[in-house]
Homo-oligomer: A and B are copies of this chain.
């Protein structure tokens, strides 16, 4: 509150933002950012400009700031980490495709950006899972801020909770419904007593599951988010090999029927447990009684339960609509960067 008022009368500080990745989420992020420029001025005394944006093959650049309508006509060839580096961006928002086995295209964008001291907001998970420690070190060495709410279950507060709301407490256990597609499938199966194959086919026809759904249904997406939370939120140092990852393929119509008759609800859950100072992590199906808040996480909602030494159990449930909710998560990171950078300007 006091920050909001204190910065108002200062001269505007310019922040130049670039966005790498112009799929649904990248475009939603660009549009939301442009729609909030007046807010940035008023609250942070910040003139926020979108100076560059690119997809995998084409992009645009304008030092004075792009407008929403210009994103309709990209120029071939204006793309890649060097294209971003040559723009005058102070802040990169990375929103490309995710591949945790290689780091994906995001890895090169993020590495170069952090090395150059550019504050970096990451939405895709791949690079963070593949090279998290190196990226953290790059940021520490250059003094750049590395933010990743969009990659850690987006609108559901996860890293935020441990890093801000539960600050000072020791996290003992974490349990999360972190993948929307599998929650949607399990919810549909429970509602109608159908098995995995039938539910998946229906969801694919309806556009709620991908043609190759394995990243979701085999638990890898949940595992990625869990690992990012552990490594970036809880100071762990896990790799994918440290996790036991089981998906939801084993959930048959018969098992669904049996659970339902007992008042139980299955969920695909990622969990972390601290044992002797080390976190053990896994992904698999867990069963909850109806009175557990986790049993009532519907459709594409997500949830997390965090148990700490001093604050007991804290649960968060998120149900934002995509891609807007993920865009808003990335731009929450942007405001945290503006807050921190503005504080530096004030005290200089």
Residues of chain A having any CB pair with chain B under 8 Å: 1-2, 5-6, 32, 36, 39, 136, 139-140, 143, 145-146, 155-157, 160-161, 164-169, 232, 235, 290-293, 296, 298, 308, 310-321, 324-325, 327-329, 331-332, 334-336, 340, 343-344, 347-348
Contacts and interface: CB of A to CB of B under 8 A. Distances in A.
B348 A325 contact: no
Contact of A327 (B291, B310, B317, B329): B310
Contact of A324 (B161, B310, B317): B310
A316 B319 contact: no
Contacts of A335: 167-168
B316 A2 contact: no
16 contacts: A39-B168, A155-B312, A157-B161, A157-B314, A157-B316, A160-B164, A167-B335, A168-B328, A290-B290, A293-B296, A310-B327, A310-B328, A311-B320, A314-B318, A315-B318, A344-B347
A336 B145 contact: no
Nearest to A4: B235
A143 B343 CA distance: 13
Given A140-B6, A146-B2, A336-B167, A312 B316 contact: no
Nearest to A325: B311
Given A1-B235, A165-B332, A291-B298, 13 more contacts: A2-B145, A155-B312, A157-B161, A164-B336, A166-B332, A169-B328, A296-B296, A310-B320, A310-B327, A312-B318, A313-B320, A314-B316, A314-B318
Contacts of A334: 168
Given A2-B145, A140-B5, A145-B2, A155 B311 contact: yes
A212 to B, nearest CB: 28
Contacts of A136: 1-2
A32 B340 CA distance: 28
A328 B311 CA distance: 7
A316 B313 contact: no
Nearest to A32: B310
A335 to B, nearest CB: 5
A167 to B, nearest CB: 5
By CB atoms of chain B within 10 A, which of A136, A157, A310, A336 has the most? A310
Contacts of A166: 332
A133 to B, nearest CB: 11
Contacts of A235: 1
A296 B295 CA distance: 10
A198 to B, nearest CB: 23
Contacts of A344: 343, 347
Contacts of A156: 314
Nearest to A154: B311
Nearest to A343: B343
A298 B334 CA distance: 37
B312 A321 contact: yes
B310 A319 contact: no
Contacts of A317: 293, 313-317
